[in-house]
Amino acid sequence: MIPPAVASQPRKSRHMVETLVNLFFLSARYLHIVATTLIVGGTLFFEMVVPIAINELKLEVQMVLFARMRWIFRWVVYISTATLLLTGAISMYRNWNVINGDFIRFMVQAAGPNQVYSLITASFFNWPRFWFLAHIASGLFSLVIAVALVSGGKPPERPLQWMRINLFILMIAIFLASASRGARQNLFQALLKNPSIPGARE
Ligand code: HEM
């Protein structure tokens, strides 16, 4: 049944607001993924392709080219970092129930403490808050390294090795984001099979 407060709103405006809100959150997710591809692809290109491409040129030419490409790459990093921070904050706002515990409390209400407890103790892949926070921490860490590597007048000592390390941390951040979403899905899917919940299968 539609709650009275919602039913009293004109139907058309309710649909419009719902669609716009969905579009907003969907765009934020989409931009988060686009910025991810830019920063990961850019780092991969800088770390793997550039050194091979300029390898046989004279050292002075190599230095000039490297400095110019670093200048361009700097803007890729700045733009994708700003986008990841903004869209990440929007996603955090939307999924705040994972952080404040409402998500797991809802699961306990729906399925009872026994099923939720046994799922959570069965595997650490069923820990939504842990993976969620781990993604944010690793994401922030990788962005700090990426910005530090391209900021300032001259590159740090061993820039390519640092890029390689950061590429690895970026990949870990992606894994942790997948695990975060996966943990919530694992719990939901287990609930779908709980016979004591109305509408569940099996
Ligand atoms: C401070 C920076 C960041 C914040 C606050 C942030 C926040 C978030 C949040 C809250 C989610 C949703 C997780 C979930 O649904 O369980 C997410 C998803 C994701 N994040 Fe980040 N993130 C940040 C940085 C990064 C970085 C650096 C990368 C890339 C290496 C990245 C890649 C992803 C990907 C691929 C997803 C999955 C997108 C989806 O399924 O919608 N994030 N992020």
Can you give the pTM of this predicted structure? 0.90
- Tokens read off for 130: 């842990």
Q: Are 150 and 47 in contact (CB under 8 A)?
A: no
Residue nearest to atom 22 of ligand 1 (CA): 88
- CA of 183 relative to ligand 1 center, distance in Å: 14
- What's the pLDDT band for 195 if we cut at 50, 70, 90? confident
Rounded Cα distance between 40 and 174, Å, is: 10
- CA of 31 relative to ligand 1 center, distance in Å: 10
Is the predicted pLDDT of residue 6 greater than 80, yes or no?
A: no
pLDDT in tens, 36-80: 999 999 999 999 999 899 989 999 999 899 888 999 999 999 999
Rounded Cα distance between 192 and 74, Å, is: 47
Is the predicted pLDDT of residue 168 greater than 60, yes or no?
A: yes
Distance between alpha carbon 47 and the CA centroid of its chain, in Å?
A: 22
- CA of 196 relative to ligand 1 center, distance in Å: 34
Q: What is the residue-averaged pLDDT of the chain?
A: 92
For ligand 1, is residue 115 a contact (CB within 6 Å)?
no
Distance between alpha carbon 45 and the CA centroid of its chain, in Å?
A: 21
Q: What is the pLDDT of residue 111?
A: 86
